[in-house]
Structure formats: C-alpha cells, structure tokens
Amino acid sequence: MSENEELIVSPNKELDHLIKLLDDEDDNIYSSVKERFLSFGNQSEDFLKNYLNDKNILINKRANEIVSILNFKNLEKKFFRLNPENKDFLEEAVFLISSYGYPGIDAAHYRNMISDYAAVIRLNIIKKFGKADPENPLDYLETINDFLFKDKMFRGNNDNYYDPDNSFLNKVIDNKTGIPITLSVIYLLVSRKLNLPVYGINMPGHFLLKYEKEKVEYYIDPFNGGIIISGPEAERFAKNLGIQKSDFDKIPYLNKTTDLEIILRILRNLIEIYKKEEELKASQIDKLMNSLVR
C-alpha cells in the first residue's frame, strides 16, 4: 500500500477504533475521544450519523452531542454568509434553522414542496375563476386558505405549543402543525411565489399576515385556520376598544416586518424553549442570532 493510500484509510480506521470507546464511562476518556472525533470534522459527522439512533443509550447520546457540535460549526458559517437583503433570505434562513434541529435534512425537498403548493393553488384559481389573477383579492386569499387549512390541514399546535419542532419548518410541513410565525412563514412563502403583496405583522404574543395593495387591506391569521379580517373590520374593532383610526394607523406592531425580524423572532422563540433545560442549545441559537445582527 502506498503512503497516500495509507493517509486515506487511516482516518476511517481510527474512527472505527474511537466508536468502540464512545460508551466508556470514564469522562476523561470520553473527553479525549470527543476531541479526536471533532478533529476529523465532516468525516466524523458522516460516520457518527450511523449511530444517532444506536440501541446503546450512551453511544446514542454522545454521537448526537458530537454531531450537534460539528453541525453547529458549519451552520454558524452559513448563517454568517446570509444576506438579509437577498430576496430568498427568508426561505434560506428558515431551512438553515431547520437543519439545526435536524442535521442533514433535504432542504431542497421542502422548498420544492412549497413551490408545489403555490403551483396547485394557481391551478385552483384558474379552475375557479377562469384566469390566474382574479380581480377580487379575497378570492385568492380564500383559495390559499382552502388549500393550506382544508386540503393540507395545517393548524395551530395548541396542544404542544412549546415543542421545538414548531419552529423547524420541515417538521411543521411534515406534521401540519406549528406556531403563528412558522405557519405564517409557509403562507408568506407561498404568497410570494404567487406574487401577492402579503407581509408579516410582528405583534406582541402573536404573528399575523397582511395583504395590502393600494387601498385594499386584509389581515390573515394562519394560526387560526387563516381567518381573514378586512382593514375596515379591524378599524371598527379598534374603535370599539376606544382606538381612533389615526391612532390605529400608527400602532407600531401593525407595520410590515422585515424578513430579518421574522428569522430573529423564530430564533428567540427557540432560545426561550431551550434555556429552560438545554443551555448549550440556547447558547448556540444565541450565537446564530448574533451572526445575523452585525
């Protein structure tokens, strides 16, 4: 065997040796083994993915920990390279967040699913109204609602609101459940592919969407089945609370939110969830957030 061939084979042999030591109960030995795994970078990550569901609980736990550390290092670099000004920033960033919770997910698969959603909705519009751009925007919004909340059965996860999976868009798509902001992101991404003027509304304790074109306004609540409230209805509701229209128009949290603000809010939600029991993950998410605010 040549010297170069030995260099290629050697890491694999060492990884085979290291995995046999991964369940050693001596913390000092595990610390040394972990550092060796980390030194091999992506090679270790690919190798250890075969042990993430190992029947040996200790190997399972430690393999997941090491892969998490390796995945985070790569993820942090990708977050730093994101540009909030790019038109695809929201879609790219939200699936990078998903890859934190689920390393190795096929983001392209889920992005294609969202494109497919938009394509089906466009076909449904043409079938119902004979053209791709109906004059009444409410027709478009109700068709989106019918597809997402009746056909696909997306719904708010009231039963397990603080499950981290509600913040990972791949799991929201798989499970058809989520929190206000992630359900809104799906609706928002679909709307953009349909060239609809729909925007996020970053409310305290909730997240809504707003359709706004010229003087036509509708508020949309994806967490509650896509309930649609017209601008005048919202103003009447505010008036009943003693809020005048001039004041209603100036309410800061009814302003359009940026894509960066949406991503930061998703990350803050995860920090709040993880800091109760998983300080390492909370710290990592905080670093991802800081890599965007620069």
Residues 203 and 152 in one domain: yes
CA-CA distance, 12 to 22, in Å (whole number)? 15
Max mean pLDDT among 95-109, 121-135, 181-195, 229-243 falls in 181-195
Instruction: State which of 32, 51, 81 marks the end of a domain.
Output: 81
- Which of 58, 81, 104 represents a domain boundary (last residue)? 81
Residues 108 and 39 in one domain: no
Q: Is residue 293 part of a domain?
A: no
**CA–CA gap between residue 185 and residue 278 (Å, rounded):** 26
Which residue type, as a one-letter code, is found at position 93?
A: A
> Are 17 and 113 in the same domain?
no
Strands annotated E in 153-280: 155-156, 177-178, 198-201, 208-213, 216-221, 227-230
- CB-facing half-sphere around the CA of 43: CA atoms within 13 A: 15
Question: Over the stretch 201-224, which tens digit does the pLDDT of each residue have?
Answer: 888 888 999 999 988 889 999 999
How confident is the model at residue 246, as a pLDDT?
A: 62
Structural domain includes residue 87: no
d(CA 272, CA 262) in angstroms, rounded, equals 16
Whether residue 49 is predicted with pLDDT greater than 90 in this model: the reply is no
Q: Are residues 115 and 52 in the same domain?
A: no
The model's pLDDT over 107-128, given as tens digits with 9 standing for 90+, comes to: 999 999 999 999 999 999 999 9
pTM, entire model: 0.83
Q: Residues 230-246: pLDDT tens digits?
A: 877 776 755 665 666 66
Domain limit, last residue, from 81, 106, 137: 81
Is 14's pLDDT higher than 70?
A: yes
- Give the Cα-Cα-Cα angle 30, 33, 38 (nearest 5 degrees): 120
Average pLDDT over residues 65-71: 87
Pair (173, 243) in one structural domain:
yes
How many domains, the chain? 2
Residues of the chain above pLDDT 90, percent: 68
Q: Say which residue, 276 or 75, is predicted with more confidence.
A: 75
> How many CB atoms are located within 10 Å of the residue 248 CB?
16
Q: Place 64 in a pLDDT band, splitting at 50, 70 and 90.
A: confident
- CA distances 292 to 93, 185, 193, Å, are 10, 18, 25
Q: What is the pLDDT of residues 31-44, one digit of tens each?
A: 999 999 999 988 99
Question: Do 100 and 243 reside in the same domain of the chain?
Answer: yes
pLDDT averaged over the chain? 89
Q: Which residue range forms the structural domain that includes residue 216?
A: 94-258
70 lies in the same domain as 196: no
